[in-house]
Structure 1
């Protein structure tokens, strides 16, 4: 690592940080586009696995894998929360032209993220009977989900390390290599899933094993890019790790609290659907896999604008921070509208691809008709939360995410299900997101104006 050319180190100091110059819209589009490609690769792992499982024509298997992925969504959401301080701290140091600090923080934060991810798996595994039972898992679906998670959860630490390295690459403005690292996950899945699920007859357990192997590839590729192209990792220094822990967790804890709102709400929603039987659970599982792939651009946008905002905050370019947020909203309108139209047009082929029985197909197709209404307002919360997390207001992110996931979802989904069944529950989710989405965006612009006023007073 130390033998890398010193040019990289000098360039990082002498050149202007990438995001403080040039078109903010271009930065938003490039970072979001490459991040979306990487995220789609990760989300396709779940989608393809569930698709293959559905071809076994056993609703209990589909329901079991769906329940397992809800639990895994919880662990990944914690990982995403742990990514946020890495992106914020490293990009801010690079924006302020402190490459040595950026290198130290990248190393310390990656190690801290791995430690937390390992602890999360150790806590969840013995609690699986309680968790799955609370979600409505029964009989064969319960056994499938439990076995799947005992195979896949122990490698959550590898997923965390890969995500940490990808975040550092994005913080340095290298969205392309971050994307390539994520694409390695999809490449492994496409090759191994059919071999393990069908060829070796491992069914759901084969899909879980594929996830583990894909995570190993993710870490390996991301590590090579980070060390060879950027020299942004240093030998671990336990004194530095202890010193950086406070900055890391001051952002990570509220970010994690923010992010786990969604999987907890998803688990509640799965419980609501469970009262309508395995076909409704299977429909919810299909929706949960189709949604991230379809709206990966929104997930990517939330992570992509963080480094842009962070570097410009470090450079005190508040005008560019405001414009970045405006550009993100323009992208959201165009992207969600486009995906809504696409899902509406392919709603029948989607349900057919999963061999969905009539009741399952009806729910999935209804979601496709309603998806844009639901996800436009959810996307507004995502964009605002990215601003809060990267600009020193993580508690606001926690407030809006939990507000949407509790007051904005639970009563609406519950009473919607009582009135209109599974379709009513879906409609309730969309209705409950409207107020929180609008309020979150207004507050995001207010926080930037406040930071600008504080900077003026300091001068």
Structure 2
């Protein structure tokens, strides 16, 4: 029974790496597509109200939501990398202890950030350039949705845990649930009960609660990935995760910072330009869900092979991921180019809104090949114990690669803003991928095994030793498995 569990837990150290990338990215993409489809559905339904201010309000609220999501994603990267590495090394007990501590930590961090968002909401909206009716609507929407960020973080954490063990299907189900709930409730609350934007906000809240409940069921009851939470060891069990998570959070925050600057730049051209940017920001995650899923999909594959000392499979995984990115972008480009007319009609786009959608779907969409390169590079850095490189490249793209290029593009209108952003993505995405290849190329088998062994030993000390215990007294590694028996799925 034990050996079967270990084989199931470390499934990425065997078989085709390309197949693992396709399956993990594909199922992760369906799940992410569901999450992003929630935002897209909200925008679609509120756009039917025929008020540009309402669509712009969703855009401003989405920018703030992006910050919270980025922090949660950064923390799940740390959780997934650490837990998958332990599973790859056959240390399931430690993996469960780390998973439970990480879930509690994510909940605490998210609740603090939600409270801070509500406290400083007015200054935040002022900084983004929200004004008039749009500002009032944005504030109203966020007052309803910000308190439920904690449920979103629970769903994201549990889905990441299931990906780390290779249960891609159930991880996908977590996020699909939110999409189904939103698809059902949005038209009912927005039009049936005539609640408008408030109905969209309430729908978001209910979907997040459903997301958390389904995720907890899959992680606890089906995969037995959550051990008993021990407050005395909460910090020591979280330290290995935070080693990766803190740089990953800093890395992920770069993207919403850049997005906030772009939104501020668009605001200077009026509500129609902000609405156009908001539409693009919700189309692209759905169209490129596979690319957005790559960091979470490739990470566990690299981490498990690192734990098993398989540097050859790590190189192969990175190479296959890059090919996958290029093919995905090519396909999405064709689809968006053909569908742009339908998108303009569906979102009732006019003026600058329609111009922005046309420009993006026609040719600017190609820049996402470089965004994909950076996602693959980030997954490589985060799981090969070089997370600061991810931070460096993402912040480089968010500052040097965004501010001067967007400022120059503003002279040519809202489309110029998008061109400037695309240029920065191309430069930094290429640089990040070249450095990632260099890191992987210099990783011989011996160094790979040594790195995994070093982190495993450090993690064992943090998990097994009990702070404040008598000298020489430790807890048996399997103590939590005895206290919380495995559950069937």
CA deviations 1:161-213 (Å, max 9, x no partner) are 11110000000000001001110000100110111111111111111111110
Q: Does 1:442 align with 2:434?
A: yes
Note the C-alpha offset of 1:451. 3.8
The CA deviation string for residues 277-313 of structure 1, in whole angstroms up to 9 with x for no partner, is 1111110111111111111110111210000000000
What is the distance in 1 between the residues matched to 2:448 and 2:358?
53
- Does the 8 Å contact 1:408/1:432 carry over to 2? yes
Q: For 2:127, which of 134, 140, 148 is the aligned residue?
A: 134
Structure 1 counterpart of 2:423: 431
Q: Deviations over 1:114-152 (max 9, x none)?
A: 111111111111111111111111111001111111111
Give how far 1:456 is off.
7.5
CA contact (8 A) 2:377 2:390 kept: yes
Q: Which residue is 1:340 aligned to?
A: 333
- 8 Å CA contact 1:86, 1:109 repeated in 2: yes
Between stretches 211-220 and 32-41, larger displacement belongs to 211-220
Q: Is the 8 A contact 2:309 2:446 kept in 1?
A: no
Cα shift readout 1:221-269 (whole Å, capped 9, x = no counterpart): 1111222221111121112312122222221111111101111111110
Q: Is the 8 A contact 1:188 1:213 kept in 2?
A: yes
Q: Is the 8 A contact 1:12 1:97 kept in 2?
A: no
Work out the CA distance in 2 between the residues paired with 1:247 and 1:213: 33
Distance across 2 between alignment mates of 1:113 and 1:450: 34
- When normalised by structure 2's length, the TM-score is 0.90
- In structure 1, the residue matched to 2:177 is 184
1:284 matched to 2:290? The reply is no
Alignment of 1:104-119 (within 5 A): 104-119=97-112
**SS in structure 2 at match of 1:202:** coil
Deviations 1:356-394 (A, max 9, x none): 123211111111113332211111111101111111111
CA contact (8 A) 2:178 2:207 kept: yes
Change (3 A) 1:458 1:24: closer
Q: TM-score, normalised by structure 1?
A: 0.96
1:75 aligns with 2:65: no
In structure 2, do the counterparts of structure 1 residues 14 and 434 end up closer, same or farther at CA, with 3 Å as the change threshold?
A: closer
Alpha carbons 1:340, 1:371 under 8 Å: kept: no
Question: How many residue pairs were aligned?
Answer: 451
Asked whether the equivalents of residues 311 and 445 of structure 2 are also in contact (C-alpha less than 8 Å), the reply is no
Question: How does 1:6-405 map onto structure 2 within 5 Å?
Answer: 7=1, 11-13=4-6, 17-405=10-398
Equivalent in the alignment of 1:3: none
Aligned position for 1:422: 414
Distance 1:377 1:237 in 2: 43
Counterpart Cα distance in 2 of 1:438 and 1:14: 37
> 1:287 touches 1:364 (CA, 8 Å); kept in 2?
yes
Q: How far does residue 49 in structure 1 lie from its aligned partner after superposition?
A: 0.3
CA distance in 2, matches of 1:392, 1:240: 24
Secondary structure class of the residue paired with 2:226:
coil
What is the CA–CA distance in structure 2 between the aligned matches of 1:150 and 1:410, rounded to whole Å?
30
What is the CA–CA distance in structure 1 between the aligned matches of 2:68 and 2:286, rounded to whole Å?
Answer: 18
CA distance 1:14–1:423, change in 2 (3 Å): closer
The answer to whether the 8 Å contact 2:9/2:87 transfers is no
Moved over 6 A (4+): none
1:18-42 per-residue CA deviation (whole Å, 9 max, x = no partner) reads 0000000000000000000000000
Preserved CA contact (<8 Å) 1:104 1:240: no
SS in 1 for 2:363: helix
Query: Matched residue of 2:375: which SS?
Result: helix
Aligned-partner SS, 2:349: coil
**Deviation of the 1:432 alpha carbon:** 1.6
1:17–1:94 CA contact under 8 A, matched in 2: yes
Conserved in 1, the CA contact under 8 Å of 2:312 and 2:445? no
Residue ranges of structure 2 left out of the alignment (5+ in a row): 452-489
Question: Does the 8 Å CA contact 1:374/1:429 hold for their aligned counterparts?
Answer: no
The change in CA–CA distance for 1:449 and 1:238 in structure 2 (over 3 A counts) is farther
Root mean square deviation, CA, Å: 1.5
SS of the residue corresponding to residue 346 of structure 1 reads helix
In structure 2, C-alpha distance between the alignment counterparts of 1:458 and 1:67, rounded to whole Å: 47
C-alpha deviation, 1:10, in angstroms: 5.3
Which string of whole-angstrom CA distances, capped at 9 and with x for unpartnered residues, describes residues 81-116 of structure 1?
010111001100000000101111111111111111
